[in-house]
A and B are shown apart, each in its own frame.
Chain A
Amino acid sequence: MLSRKITSDSHGQDSSYFLGWEAYEKNSYHEVENPSGIIQMGLAENQLSFDLLESWLAENPEAIGLKRTSGESLFKDLALFQDYHGLSAFKNELVEFMSKIRGNKVKFDANKLVLTAGATSANETLMFCLADPGDAFLLPIPYYPGFDRDLKWRTGVEIVPIKCSSSNGFRITSCALEEAYLQAQDQGLKVKGVLVTNPSNPLGTTLTPDEIDLLIDFAIEKEAHIVSDEIYSGTVFDSPSFVSIAEAIKDRNLESSDVFSRVHIVYSLSKDLGVPGFRVGMIYSNDEQVVSAATKMSSFGLVSSQTQYMFSQLFADKKFTAKYMKENLKRLRKRKEIIVSGLKSAGIKCLKSNACLFVWVDMRNLLSSNSFDAEMELWKRIVYEVGLNVSPGSSCHCSEPGWFRMCFANMSEETLHVALQRLKAFAETLIKSKQQQQFGLSFSRTRSLTRWVFQLASDHDHRETDR
């Protein structure tokens, strides 16, 4: 009666990533109304710079008033504008903005840009364009859980993981790439390309020039595509600086070679500008046929002309965008420092990162055993007892248990401090109880001691939050 697509669960939405979200929905933290609720740290939103956007809008009402600066009505033109080539004024501004993010080291051509309803749509569309059902793309793990749905569900494309490990900071190695390729072949899958997120979700790191070179070499050797999802490119708040795949191709003088047309970039305004609700994504491709097919496919997810117009005006204000980018990065860096030091004081480390809206946290020492079952156990405790919705590494297909993604840009500073305090209390208790276990204290006394200690720590929570 219904298609296999909907009766199966390959949309991936039963994963813990979404379950934690549901738990949060039922018991959401609120500073006043529900101070013991769950704090959302699983949502990679950028809420730090709205005031800048809002004040710009207040100063530039024509951008949303659907009137031109001359006062003429624009409404009719926009209402009728459904051209899948997109509003040229908007695309011209976007390519300039993308260039600026990359320090103007590369230039983009508006004719190679295809607008889509969010990066979600862009990624799926690229799969439809580059691969047939049963083909595969290689993705370094850990990766964004949404990819299981976005890349595979309706397209029939497979994902084969490139195994990265903490031994080298989760960097892609040529060994891992080759192994993934062979694994795909063993499974009878034709590898069409590799897809990376740079800066990485969930790692929060930018790809090194070495990693990028590896990918390019791979793409050349295997005649494969590279899809570089650069959705977080505007959140690189620390060195090393961001190197886009476009820049790397240019630096290697590959613009006239075959591989050039096999490099595709995905971007969106959801993270840099913090506007996921407006559904502004895009594909940038050097292959005319891809651009042409993707443009037609974008019919299934066009960007509202109302939204295109508003942003075309915003980005045209160069002074504002420069100010915005600078200030946004400053605020992200500050928040990241708060979370890193907060974790540190809880005896918790995280991967050294320079970008994005989250940190990749190492809680391996809090696991009861080096297993994914233990990771799930720990995760449930963090969600339900500590009251923090974080994303367990397993939901990101991490090959090592004990890593968690924690977001820091989707809440107020105060809330972040509350979260860190809770975590500190929890970690201290856990570590202490582990230490006590090591000393061989009687089991029941340990349990009661642990509970009593834990409770005290929780009370502490409500009474004093230190900064």
Chain B
Amino acid sequence: MRLLSRKASCNTHGQDSSYFLGWQEYEKNPYDEVKNPKGIIQMGLAENQLSFHLLESWLAKNPDAAGFKRDGKSIFRELALFQDYHGLPAFKQALVDFMSEIRGNKVTFDPNHIVLTAGATSANETLMFCLAEPGEAFLLPTPYYPGFDRDLKWRTGVEIVPIHCTSSNGFQITEAALNQAFEEAENRNLRVKGVLVTNPSNPLGTTMTSNEHNLLVSFIEAKKIHLISDEIYSGTVFTSPGFVSVMEILKNRNYDKFSEVWKRVHVVYSLSKDLGLPGFRVGAIYSNDEMVVAAATKMSSFGLVSSQTQYLLSAMLSDRNFTKKYISENQKRLKKRHGMLVSGLQKAGVSCLKSNAGLFCWVDMRHLLRSNTFEAEMELWKKIVYDVKLNISPGSSCHCTEPGWFRVCFANMSEETLELAMQRLKSFVTEYNRINNSNKESSAKNSRRRSLTKWVFRLSFDGADRQPEER
């Protein structure tokens, strides 16, 4: 008799993918400015480390929030006992207000329709449990966040069918691709329960266009299926076009609670990216369907947010002066960093998808591939991880249909480290070009050239470590 469940013995948790392997390599040899300057720089982790001291200074001025006190009085007991899966009302109110603020107050959210969960990871899985049976499917535009393979499929038994997006139109969702995906599902005998999109997109870093939004809403209306909009990066939109939430689209199209499609639209949010607090496990499901809210609320028992954390954040997010300042300053810093990465890449002769959000860029390294294949992409990726010593995420781990794209994060390190990373990359590309060009020139004296190449390659690396280029 099989001793453990199939879930525990299989690998549909997806954690053997390169996304996680690169992470492991980094863990073995992490870059440290002082202790390990030749180590691997982590550019595969979409963390927002740019605005911590805004949070820290708020905390310093408001010690009650972390100190279990309200107006100077201890509420430790009340919080220690508070395990109501309806969540701390003050926190839910503060959270919906914050979500509204991020959306320029163009939409408002009802705190009774929000369900708190231990991170967006929990929110997404819970929504799958609520909306789909094992063996049913959700359509997702590629490329998508590698974690979805675990979060949406593993324990739920739900399938993901990709909506293929390509660089020909900046990876936007087209009607043809949507229909094709739906057909593919049908061919595989999978009943499609809905579409899940991340807006702004991970890994593209772009906000969804109105066109795409309208396509999606019409699509789900026609097929009578759900739409989940994971808006976890909504607060990271640092430049135009601005962020348009799916809720705003519904409003603009005059859908309301009397429209059928209204109940089939759900939003996922979290404080892990906008506030940079992945460790605190604060996620949320927002649904217009009361039955989904009721079920998700009960399911949230399996991943409630610590009341200690709910209270801290309710105090912080209720401070509207602070949140306004934070949102604006955070976006400013992200914009600057994004600019640094883009220009650093440019100097290395590398372009990326024009983006206006997220904590990463979607980088085009197709011209550095030995061939237009995923094997070549893996080869390039390994060079970048092991030789250039940058942990970035290969497009294949995000299920991209075209080889050669990589996600490179920019908000999880200091400016100096980012510059060093760009320097390393530039050296690598320069060397790559040199090798390629010399290979093209002639095939004579291959061995001598190879030794020359090695010598040159080594020199440029030493150069990278000793002299960072100008800003």
Contacts and interface: CB of A to CB of B under 8 A. Distances in A.
Interface of A: 1-7, 11, 13, 45, 47, 50, 53-54, 57, 61, 64-66, 73, 75-76, 78-82, 117-118, 120-121, 124, 128-133, 135, 149-150, 154, 190, 223, 225, 262, 270, 274-279, 287, 289-290, 293-294, 296-297, 299-307, 310
Contacts of A154: 129, 155, 299, 302
B14 to A, nearest CB: 9
A190 B289 CA distance: 37
A305 B118 CA distance: 11
B130 A53 contact: no
Contacts of B122: 299-301
Given A54-B74, A293-B4, A278 B312 contact: no
Contacts of B224: 1
Given A117-B303, A300-B303, A305 B280 contact: yes
Given A6-B295, A82-B281, A278 B5 contact: no
Given A132-B5, A279-B306, A301-B302, 16 more contacts: A2-B130, A2-B295, A3-B131, A47-B81, A50-B80, A65-B63, A66-B59, A73-B56, A76-B49, A79-B279, A82-B119, A117-B304, A293-B13, A302-B281, A304-B308, A307-B306
A363 B131 CA distance: 44
A296 B150 contact: yes
Contacts of B155: 128, 154, 297, 300
Contacts of B111: none
Contacts of B133: 3-4
Contacts of B121: 299-300
A274 B81 contact: yes
A315 to B, nearest CB: 16
B77 interface: yes
B279 A277 contact: no
A306 B306 contact: yes
B280 A289 contact: no
Contact of B298 (A11, A82, A278, A304): A11
Contacts of B167: none
13 contacts: A6-B291, A61-B67, A75-B59, A79-B52, A79-B55, A80-B278, A80-B279, A278-B80, A289-B9, A293-B7, A294-B8, A301-B118, A305-B280
Contact of A128 (B7, B264, B281, B312): B7
A202 B121 CA distance: 34
Task: Name the residue in A3, A50, A190, A262 with the highest tally of chain B Cβ atoms < 10 Å from its Cβ.
Answer: A3
Q: Name, among A121, A275, A299, the residue most crowded by chain B CB atoms within 10 Å (CB to CB).
A: A299
A82 B77 CA distance: 26
Contacts of B279: 78-82, 304-306
Nearest to B78: A277
B15 A82 contact: no
Contacts of B299: 154
Contact of B76 (A57, A79, A130, A300): A57
Nearest to B136: A3
Interface string B94-134: 00000000000000000000000011011001000111111
B353 to A, nearest CB: 26
Most chain B CB neighbours (cut-off 10 Å) among A66, A78, A225, A274? A66
A129 B83 CA distance: 25
A118 B294 CA distance: 20
> Which residue among B1, B6, B264, B304 has the maximum number of chain A CB atoms within 10 Å of its CB?
B304
B52 A278 contact: no
B308 A278 contact: yes
B3 A306 contact: no
A302 B74 contact: no
Nearest to B282: A304
A66 B118 contact: no
Contacts of A121: 301-303
Interface in B415-466: none
Nearest to B88: A277
A129 B5 contact: yes
Contact of A149 (B63, B82, B119, B298): B298
B298 A80 contact: no
B309 interface: yes
Nearest to A297: B155
A95 B241 CA distance: 52
Interface string B242-262: 000000000000000000000
Nearest to A274: B80
A2 B291 contact: yes
Given A128-B155, A297-B155, A305-B279, A277 B79 contact: yes
Most chain A beta-carbon contacts within 10 A, residue among B47, B155, B305, B306: B306
A117 B80 contact: no
B80 A53 contact: yes
B66 interface: yes
A270 B82 CA distance: 11
Contacts of A75: 52, 55-56, 59
Contact of A276 (B52, B80, B118, B295): B80
Given A3-B132, A278-B80, A300-B118, A79 B304 contact: no
A404 to B, nearest CB: 23
Interface in B126-160: 129-134, 150-151, 155
Nearest to A280: B306
A299 B14 CA distance: 13
B292 interface: yes
B201 interface: no
Pick the 10 closest A-B CB pairs, nearest first.
A6-B295, A305-B279, A277-B307, A301-B303, A293-B8, A304-B306, A277-B82, A81-B279, A82-B278, A276-B83
Contacts of A133: 134
Contacts of A118: 83, 301, 304
B80 A275 contact: yes
Contact of A79 (B8, B119, B278): B278
A176 to B, nearest CB: 23
A26 to B, nearest CB: 15
A64 B66 contact: yes
A463 B207 CA distance: 68
Contacts of B131: 2-3
A303 B119 CA distance: 10
B276 interface: yes
Contacts of A290: 4, 8
A82 B47 CA distance: 11
A306 B311 CA distance: 12
B19 interface: no
Nearest to A293: B8
Most A-side CB within 10 Å, residue of B8, B63, B132, B281 = B8
Given A3-B133, A57-B76, A296 B15 contact: yes
B277 interface: yes
Nearest to A225: B3
B405 interface: no
